Structure 1
Amino acid sequence: MELPKYYFRVRENGAFVFRVDTENRDRRIEMDQIAVINIRNGEIKPHGDRELSETDLEHIKGWMAERSEVLARRDIDDILRTVDHLNLTAHWAQTRASAAQLEAVTDALLLAMHDLRTVLVRKKADRLMKDRDG
């Protein structure tokens, strides 16, 4: 099995990029950090005094595009899971929750749902206005 030429150590908003080398005299895996990348702003910073080759940049940009797609899919999946959780919460509140349990969560849930509803209604209205105007 051949190892990839690059390894991306994921961090919150991007990754550290390493070049993987197994072609050394001891046949050990060596990982040499070559860059730090930021997915949010698209920034690619060479590590230290390194200069990135076109091949390095090609691999890094490809990984960034793929990672952005993965994160976007995860966002939607997380939101759909939230819908499931809201449905489960409604069922719990209706069928199993005690008065004390409801007292402990009602205000927080109502405020969070009110905030979400306000944002969703405003965004929906903005989209409808935009579609109507052009």
Structure 2
Amino acid sequence: MSGDLPKHYFRIRDNGATVFRVDTENRQRRIDMDQIAVVNLNKDEIRPHGERELNAEDEAAIRAWMSERKTLLAMREIDDIHRAIDHLNQTAQWAQARASQDQLEAVTDALLLAMHDLRTVLVRKKADRLSGR
């Protein structure tokens, strides 16, 4: 099992991760995880933990993880948008076919405001793209 483990483990947290160096080469033959850094993806920042100094291998592994994580989060974000489109379609079908008057009363204003806000943003962004801004 120890041969299959990565040298670094990334515990996901808001805006980044806590980075551990994985050690299986010890007398007890158990897995030790030593915290070596904290990563902030929003600031593109790596902060060594405590008095630690990161070696070139640590730095390269962390930078590679940061790049892969940003790519994954971007893919998830666009997937969430596609799901929102599906939900809007399902909401339209629900409102037309199954919603009671009380249910519609409970959600109509909030939906109309959210859709108006979204439409305003999308129209403005499209106009900016068309005018080359």
Q: What interval of TM-score do these two structures reach, taking the shorter chain for normalisation?
A: over 0.9
Q: For residue 77 of structure 1, what is the aligned residue in structure 2?
A: 79
C-alpha deviation, 1:40, in angstroms: 1.1
What is aligned with 1:124?
126
Cα distance, 1:49 vs structure 2: 0.4
- Cα deviations across residues 56-101 of structure 1 (Å, max 9, x unaligned)? 0000000000000000000000000000000000000000000000
TM-score, scaled relative to structure 1 = 0.96
| SS, match of residue 97 in structure 1 | coil
Percent identical residues: 70
RMSD value, Cα: 0.8
Aligned-pair CA distance for 1:21: 0.2
- Count of residue pairs the alignment pairs up: 131
| Paired residue type of 1:113 | M
In structure 2, list runs of 5 or more residues that go unmatched.
none
- Number of the residue aligned with 1:60: 62
2:99 is matched with 97
| SS of equivalent residue, structure 2 residue 50 | coil
2:16 corresponds, among 14, 17, 21, to: 14
User: Could you state the TM-score of these two structures normalised by the residue count of structure 2?
Assistant: 0.97
Quick one: distance in 1 between partners of 2:101 and 2:49? Answer: 57
Number of the residue aligned with 2:32: 30
